[in-house]
Amino acid sequence: MRGEKMDWKKSTILITGGTGSFGRKFVEIMLNKYKPRKLIVFSRDEFKQHQMRLEFSSNRLRFFVGDVRDGSRLRRALSGVDLVVHAAALKQIPSCEYNPFEAVMTNIFGAKNVIDACIDCGVKKIMALSSDKAVSPSNLYGATKLCAEKIFVQGNAYVGRASTRFSCVRYGNVIGSRGSVVEVFQKQKPQGVLTITDPRMTRFWIGLEQGVEFVIHCIEEMKGGEIFVPKLPSMKTIDLAKAIAPECKIKYTGIRPGEKLRETLITEDESRHAVELSDSFIIEPENPVWDYKPRKKGRRLAEGFSYSSDINDEWISPGAIRKMAAKL
- Residue 71 phi, psi (nearest 5): -65, -35
Contacts of 311 (CB under 8 A, 6+ apart): none
| Residue 132 neighbours by CB distance under 10 Å | 26
Paired strand residues for 252: 196
Residue pair 274/283 in contact (Cβ under 8 Å)? The answer is yes
- For residue 195, list its beta bridge partners: 251
Q: What is the secondary structure of 163-180 as a DSSP string?
A: --EEEEEEE-EEET-TTS
Nearest-angstrom CA–CA distance, 168 and 173: 16
E strand or H helix that includes residue 325: helix 318-327
The verdict on whether 133 is a catalytic residue reads yes
Encoded amino acid at 297, one letter: K
Of 133, 231, 236, 260, the catalytic one is 133
Rounded Cα distance, 278 and 72, in Å: 42
227 has which bridge partners? 168, 283
Q: Which residues are catalytic?
A: 133
